[in-house]
Amino acid sequence: MTQTQALRTKPETASTDRRIGQILLGSGRLSPLDAERVLHFQRETGLRFGEAALRLGLVSEEDISRAVSEQFDYHYLKLGQGNFSAQLIAAYQPFSSQMEVFRAVRSQLMLRWHGDGSKTLAVASPRREEGRSYTASNLAVVFSQLGQRTLLIDADLRHPNQHEIFALGRNCAGLSDLLAGRGSAECIRRIEEFADLSVLPAGTIPPNPSELLSRGAFDALLRDFAAAYDIVLLDTPGGIASSDAQTVAARAGASLLIARKHMTPLAETDFLRQMLTAVGCRVLGAVLNEF
């Protein structure tokens, strides 16, 4: 599978010239006294600094992996750090087999969607609990790890999830408030742990989600976001229970379908595909979620 990565050079944050020892010291994973021991052992054995520190038992494989990731400006977190949901495996399990799947999906999207200049993508599924929010949040992280300025929008104004996944708080303002003219740009939350990731939560659950999403203000917002970000991903409500997903996908112009193994009937996935195609949305493909 071919992988296209649109990496953006950021001289002000690049850290590839930092040595592993400096990173381990700066993060507190190695004390100055232990660093001296490592240097002495390194001179005796000719090992690299990280290998010498491992041999002495002063650091773990995880410490070295994390230091190398920081050296190449590829940030991830320890479980519990950031208080994000464990569903965010792109943050907590970057070297897992599941993450390879997300990277493969990202590569295909870069080739088949983003490569032609498209920026806005809806993530849709027939019903709730099929992995739509899980997929959207992890895709947002892996896109941001490419250096793409990424905005994840929770456009599920009925049963939102992204505020919980990213620990943004239950009563945070968001998309619905912007559409109702009651919010400002401060509704968009920068995720500090990832330099290029921002999240716009759903906001106050409104009594009229379909009407809000059908307003011209939504189109105007998406145009503004496409101008300000490289990637705009939209989490949507279940596509069969209401027309909201069709409305969001039509405005996005492209969509990715999610189905859950042993749960989502093929007929429902195909029905949603037909519904989205009928409103002019380009369906790029489908992802079978096993979790």
pLDDT tens-place string over residues 109-126: 999 999 999 999 999 999
Strands 189-190 and 197-200: antiparallel
Domain ranges of the chain: 20-71, 81-289
One CATH from 1.10.4010.10, 3.30.450.40, 3.40.50.720, 3.40.50.300 for 81-289: 3.40.50.300
pLDDT score, position 62 = 73
Query: What percent of the chain has pLDDT above 90?
Result: 60
- Angle at Cα 248 formed by Cα 243 and Cα 251, nearest 5°? 125
Give yes or no for residue 52 having a pLDDT over 70.
yes
Judge contact between 176 and 204, C-beta under 8 A: yes
pLDDT, tens digit, 9 for 90 and up, residues 238-254: 999 899 999 999 999 99
Residue 10 pLDDT class (50, 70, 90 cuts): very low
More confident residue, 19 or 234: 234
Confidence (pTM): 0.78
Going through 125-215 in order, the beta strands assigned E by DSSP cover 150-154, 189-190, 197-200
Q: Which amino acid is at 168?
A: L
pLDDT score, position 226 = 96
Structural Rg of the chain based on CA atoms: 21
pLDDT score, position 8 = 35
Give yes or no for residue 57 having a pLDDT over 60.
yes
pLDDT, tens digit, 9 for 90 and up, residues 135-171: 999 999 999 988 899 999 999 999 999 999 999 988 8
